[in-house]
Structure 1
Amino acid sequence: MPSPQQARAQASAITSGKTVPEAEAAPTSQLRELFDGPRLSPGQRRIAQYLIDHITEAAFLSITDLAERVGVSQPSVTRFAGAVGFSGYPALRERLQSIALRTLAGGTGAATEHRSNELQAAVDAEIENLENLRRDFADPDRVIWIGRELSQSSPLTVLGLRISVSLAEYFAYAARRIHPDVRLVTRGGSVAYDALLQSREAGGTWVLAFGMPRHAQETLTAIRVARTAGLRVALVTDQALGALADEADVTFSTGIGSRLVFDTYAAPGLMAAALLQAMTDADPERTQARLEDYEQVAEEHQFFLKD
């Protein structure tokens, strides 16, 4: 049984012009029709019921988050996707999202009820950010191209300072599974300068930078140092225009949630995952080999809990 990452790597590559089927029946009816046919195990029935009960939220969860919410393992979610007729969890999630987005658009009225408090308003704002990102992905050529560029940069440097550290750490952690040399920079000043200069001297060609508000002066300085050293910069940020975007070679602008005391980053997180997917698509043989090697090491040293 392949790992969740291997299953994802084996799923369909990012392509343009993909259409999402329209749904006319109520979401619950669509999901029950989807899940009722196969003979599911007790754990798989729990997953199905959770999706039915929480479709507008669950459709946008990562495989890790869905597994945690239901209380099953990630491989269990992968097997569930196969049991109900999909090539993997990404394909199942795409179908779930098409149902959820119609619900949120008001097709059944379910998503418009009980939106009276600030927490629900925060979720609504993030859903809108994701819908905007979904429209941007209608033409994924730029994502595909930068994924190839990042894949070929060795070393690949990932930069995230202050509030952007978590996004950079997530990307670097996953990228190391599929790329032989990923260098993470989460401290500014001379530490960042040294890391960027060493990356260029070692043959690196790209930096992937994350710049979320409040935008740090040291992030701008680090991007300038990178470009002066001869590195190109791909930037994930919340503003298409501004000082950071002006300095970057390529900018991916995504909305952030700002309804709560601290910002939320659903769309930037998904953008990071899309870039990772594009990297896997750029060199599928290397991706598969590295994931297989990692699974062997993980099994040998028992990194993860069993089902």
Structure 2
Amino acid sequence: MENNKQDLMKSIQAKFLRLSKGQKLIAQYILKHYDKAAFMTAAKLGIRVGVSEATVIRFANEFGFNGYPKLQKSLQELIKNKLTTMQRFNLSYDSMTQENVLDEVLKGDIENIRVTLEKINNQTFENIVNSLFKARKVYIIGLRSSSALAGFLAFYLNLILENVQVVAYGVSDIFEQMFNVDERDIIIGIGFARYATRTIEALEFVRSKHGIVVAITDSLSSPLASNANYTLIAQSNITSFVDSLVAPFSVINALIIAVELRGKEKVAKTFSTLESIWEEYNVYSLKDKDNKYL
């Protein structure tokens, strides 16, 4: 990854003297602030350096990219695992203001879902559902911000499959929680840049034991994907220190519902039993005949 970044930077430096005056301004900014440029549109980058949007697009074409979004995406792929939390925090000040934060965040999440729908492989999705029903045991790991996704997935799958275990930090080491894993088992690893080292190692461990490895991550170049039999891509571009998990949650929702539909008879029986338990122990608020909460 670092070599790729250096190659791009060297290419810009090598061509610098042959660039137009406006393109030199863009080059100088990218060389110095590539972490910020990666999250700017062509229009915003043009405004920042004082050139037209068309000049920014021509700059991208000059370096072999079919349009500025390709250059932007390349920069994002190269740096996203290297951005510190402080750098992410600083990026939020460059990309949005207090007045436009609601629009910017919601539009960003909508775009993440749209890109996810384009990238996701339906056959891979179906293969994962089949593997879940065949597995002796299903392990799920997602650490740090991905722990919310792992817990959500495990909560619902456990109601359907009954053989689900969340692998997490605790009294025992992560590897101790999976020491019996073999080719009959499956692990679902969830992680996005910055990728948690322990999640990567857990997937490597299961792969070494010939278990099936599923990755839910943001790119096929993700270190989670490199150890996976199956990978589901969920877009998670960030514009601040907060990870955008809307698209990953949507993919996980789809996975849960697909498993539910496959085992709908068992699920119906399970929920019928659970409803009786929930009612007996007042798990959920109920309303009386006057529409008042009990």
**Shared topology, TM-score over 0.5?**
yes
Aligned alpha-carbon RMSD (Å): 2.3
Q: Per-residue displacement from partner, 1:37-92 (whole Å, max 9, x unpaired)?
A: xxxxxxxxxxxxxxxxxxxxxxxxxxxxxxxxxxxxxxxxxxxxxxxxxxxxxxxx
Matched, 1:175 2:157: yes
Secondary structure of the residue that 2:161 maps to in structure 1? coil
Name the structure 2 match of 1:123: 106
Name the structure 2 match of 1:254: 234
- From 146, 161, 177, the equivalent of 2:128 is 146
Q: Per-residue displacement from partner, 1:134-159 (whole Å, max 9, x unpaired)?
A: 3346x633322211211332321111
Residues 148/298 of structure 1: CA separation in 2 closer, same or farther (3 Å cut) = farther
- 1:168: how far off? 0.2
The equivalences for 1:45-124 within 5 A come to: 117-124=100-107
Name the structure 2 match of 1:221: 201
- From 272, 277, 282, the equivalent of 1:297 is 277
Q: Per-residue displacement from partner, 1:170-222 (whole Å, max 9, x unpaired)?
A: 10111111111210112289621111223x26x85211110122101111111
Q: Per-residue displacement from partner, 1:80-127 (whole Å, max 9, x unpaired)?
A: xxxxxxxxxxxxxxxxxxxxxxxxxxxxxxxxxxx9613311211110
Q: Identity of aligned pairs, percent?
A: 22
Residues 298/151 of structure 1: CA separation in 2 closer, same or farther (3 Å cut) = farther
The number of aligned residues is 190
**TM-score, normalized by length of structure 2?**
0.59
- From 143, 166, 173, the equivalent of 1:161 is 143
- Whole-angstrom distance in 1 between the partners of 2:169 and 2:230: 22
The equivalences for 1:226-237 within 5 A come to: 226-237=206-217
Kept after mapping to 2: 8 A contact 1:236/1:252: yes
Residues 250/290 of structure 1: CA separation in 2 closer, same or farther (3 Å cut) = same
Alignment gaps of 5+ in structure 1: 1-114
Q: Per-residue displacement from partner, 1:227-283 (whole Å, max 9, x unpaired)?
A: 112211111011221322111111111111412331120000011111111211222
Residues 174/205 of structure 1: CA separation in 2 closer, same or farther (3 Å cut) = same
**TM-score, normalized by length of structure 1?**
0.57
Kept after mapping to 1: 8 A contact 2:112/2:235: yes
Structure having greater relative contact order (Cα 8 Å, sep ≥ 6): 1
- Whole-angstrom distance in 2 between the partners of 1:251 and 1:287: 26
Residues 299/152 of structure 1: CA separation in 2 closer, same or farther (3 Å cut) = farther
Kept after mapping to 1: 8 A contact 2:214/2:229: yes
Name the structure 2 match of 1:104: none
Name the structure 2 match of 1:265: 245
Secondary structure of the residue that 2:175 maps to in structure 1? helix
Kept after mapping to 1: 8 A contact 2:119/2:233: no
Kept after mapping to 2: 8 A contact 1:178/1:291: no
Name the structure 2 match of 1:197: 179
Residues 298/154 of structure 1: CA separation in 2 closer, same or farther (3 Å cut) = farther
Larger Rg computed on CA atoms: 2
> Partner letter of residue 126 of structure 1?
D
- Whole-angstrom distance in 2 between the partners of 1:225 and 1:175: 23
Kept after mapping to 2: 8 A contact 1:161/1:188: no
Kept after mapping to 2: 8 A contact 1:156/1:204: no
> Partner letter of residue 273 of structure 1?
N
- 1:298: how far off? 1.5
